[in-house]
């Protein structure tokens, strides 16, 4: 999707602030956290579905509910629900902290036509509505993306 100038500005602003915070996303205001989380997650999912998203640990190993909540904040309710269902594919506690176990589950579903992550990815991967909802979120929270 071609990005608007406003969304491009929000990305640049957000990631500059994240860099200035030493990569600690928790130091950013919630609107910037939301843009960082959704844009990063959606970029990965658009490139390879939930499988690609779950293959590696995220910096700081945030719980996957952090991502689900960010999608909900921008109004991407179906994507958030698909995310929750994808996380539930991992039959153990704290999957966000257990890359080895996640990859074992992913390997079991490799080339399996019944792979639940494929079906769930179809709801999120390439879904342009999510980028539109993120842009609307940026518009609604425009003050957070201005330098003081």
Each residue of 23-40: pLDDT tens digit? Answer: 999 999 999 999 999 999
Instruction: Answer whether residue 138 is part of any domain.
Output: yes
Instruction: Answer whether residue 25 is part of any domain.
Output: yes
Q: What are phi and psi of 117, to 5 degrees?
A: -70, -30
Taking all residues of the chain, what is their mean pLDDT, rounded to a whole number? 94
Which two three-digit tokens encode residue 115? 């792979």
Instruction: Answer whether residue 147 is part of any domain.
Output: no
Instruction: Answer whether residue 66 is part of any domain.
Output: yes
146: Cβ contacts below 8 Å, ≥ 6 apart? 13
Which two three-digit tokens encode residue 83? 């995310």
Instruction: Answer whether residue 119 is part of any domain.
Output: yes
CA 108 to chain centre: 24
Q: How many domains does the chain have?
A: 1
Between CA 10 and CA 35 the distance in angstroms is 8
Between CA 122 and CA 61 the distance in angstroms is 25
Give the model's pLDDT for residue 148. Answer: 59
Instruction: Answer whether residue 43 is part of any domain.
Output: yes
Q: What is the span of the domain harbouring residue 119?
A: 5-142
Is pLDDT of 17 > 50? yes
Distances (CA, A) of 13 to 23, 111, 146, 147: 14, 40, 8, 8
Give the model's pLDDT for residue 45. Answer: 97
Instruction: Answer whether residue 131 is part of any domain.
Output: yes
Instruction: Answer whether residue 51 is part of any domain.
Output: yes
């Amino acid at each position: 999707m071609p990005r608007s100038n406003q969304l491009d500005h929000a990305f640049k602003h957000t990631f500059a602030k994240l860099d200035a915070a030493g990569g600690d996303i928790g130091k950013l205001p919630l609107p910037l956290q939301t843009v960082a989380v959704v844009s990063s997650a959606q970029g990965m999912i658009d490139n390879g579905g939930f499988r690609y998203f779950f293959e590696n640990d995220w910096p700081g190993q945030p719980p996957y509910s952090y991502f689900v909540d960010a999608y909900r904040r921008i109004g991407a309710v179906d994507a958030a629900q698909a995310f929750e269902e994808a996380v539930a594919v991992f039959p153990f506690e704290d999957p966000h902290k257990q890359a080895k176990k996640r990859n074992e589950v992913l390997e079991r579903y490799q080339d399996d036509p019944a792979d639940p992550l494929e079906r769930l990815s179809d709801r999120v991967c390439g879904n342009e509505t999510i980028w539109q909802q993120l842009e609307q979120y940026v518009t609604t929270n425009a003050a957070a993306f201005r330098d003081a």
